[in-house]
Amino acid sequence: MEFDLFLRYGPALLTGFGVTILCWLVGSFGGLVLGFVLACLYRYGPAPLRWVIYAYVEVIRGTPFMIQLFILYYGGPHFGLLLSPIQAGILSFIVYGSPYFSEIFRSGFNAVPHGQVEAARCVGLSEGRILRRIILPQMLVPITAPLTNFFIILTKETAILSVVTVPELLYETQTMAAETFTFVEPFLVLSLFYWLMVIGTSWVGAKAEARVTRHLRKA
């Protein structure tokens, strides 16, 4: 292994890692928020809106991320949406993740016993407050693990952004590989970076799970 390779390409790889993290974080949290909004609209909205959301969820889940990315990035200009690669990447990431998140939230809603909501109505709490104080904290218990899991899945989907020349980790790795005719070193580093992301996410997920299940521990 040649270490001066890393000296030369280290900064580029690190920047790539930074871009990966940026796209992943903004895209995932955007998807999370959009997914939550969709799940709420599905739960509280009128029937026609529910059909629209249902169709959205099925269509996005039934098509490859790469095609969604292409529609936004290459097709976008045709309906007046001119995006830089990173913008297109993040936006398509938000769109791509949202139906999965919304399904997770939907299952969370269903996991909260209805009796608790009724009890809250009986003492006169408003629906907004019930959502915030009773339903949300409770649904976090069953959904924290699947949320963590999906964040981990999304770490890997970021690699696809390299296809539209987002200068993320895989893109920089490929550049390095092509310029130096090496494979082992760059891809080893790349694996290490993804591994770090996965480990980090699992760690945060475990912490979050401990936090949201605090009240269930027997004293």
Partner 1 sequence: MNFSFDVIWHNLPYMLAAARWTLLISLGGMAISLVWGVFVCAARISSGAVLSRLAALYISFFRGVPLLVQLLLFYYMLPYVGLDLPAIAAAILAVGLCSAAYSAEILRGALQTIPRGQTEAADALGIPTFSLWRRILIPQAIRIGLPSLVNELILLVKVSSLASVVGIGELTRISQNITGETYRPLEIYVAAAVIYFLINLVISLLGRLAEKRLQVA
Partner 2 sequence: MDETPKDQPIIRISGLCKYFDDFEALRDITLDVNRSEVLCLIGPSGSGKSTLLRCLNFLEAYDGGEVYLEGDLIGWRSAREAPRRPLSSEKLRRQRQHIGMVFQQFNLWPHMTALENVAEALMHVKGLSKSEATTKARAALAKVNLSDKEKNYPANLSGGQQQRVAIARAIAMEPSVMLFDEPTSALDPELVGEVLSVMKEMANEGMTMVVVTHEMGFAAHVADRVAFLEEGRLVACSPPSEIFGREPDDPRVRAFLKTYRERNVV
Give the binding site for partner 2 (CB under 8 A): 113, 115-116, 118-127, 129, 133-134, 137-138, 215-219
Please, what is the minimum distance in Å from the beta carbon of residue 218 to partner 2?
6
Other beta carbons within 10 Å of 124:
7
78 binds, among partner 2, partner 1, none (CB under 5 to 8 A by kind): partner 1
Token pair 């095609």: residue: 67
Residue type, position 212, single letter? V
The dihedral built from the CA positions of residue 188, 164, 70 and 94, taken in this order, carries a sign that is positive
Which residues, in sequence order, are CB contacts of 202 under 8 Å at separation 6+? 148, 152
Closest listed residue to residue 108, CA positions, set 73, 90, 134: 134
Site size toward partner 1 (CB under 8 A) is: 33
Among 159, 180, 208, 209, binds partner 1 (CB under 8 A): 159
Applying CB under 8 A, which of residues 18, 51, 63, 133 lies at the interface with partner 1?
63
Residue 137 touches which member of partner 1, partner 2, none, C-beta under 5-8 Å by kind: partner 2
Measured between alpha carbons, how far is 48 from 56 in angstroms, rounded to an integer? 13
CA pair distance 214, 38, nearest whole angstrom: 28
Q: Which does 46 bind (CB under 5 to 8 A by kind): partner 1, partner 2, none?
A: none
Interatomic CA distance for residues 109 and 100, integer angstroms: 14
Q: Which of 13, 147, 170, 176 binds partner 1 (CB under 8 A)?
A: 170
CA–CA separation, 173 vs 171, rounded Å?
A: 5
Binding-site partner at residue 219 among partner 2, partner 1, none, CB < 5 to 8 Å by type: partner 2
Which segment (38-46, 59-67, 120-128, 134-142) binds partner 1 by CB under 8 A?
A: 59-67
Point out which residues bind partner 1 (CB under 8 A). Answer: 58-59, 62-68, 70-71, 74-75, 78-80, 156-160, 162-163, 170, 174, 177, 183, 187, 190-191, 194-195, 198
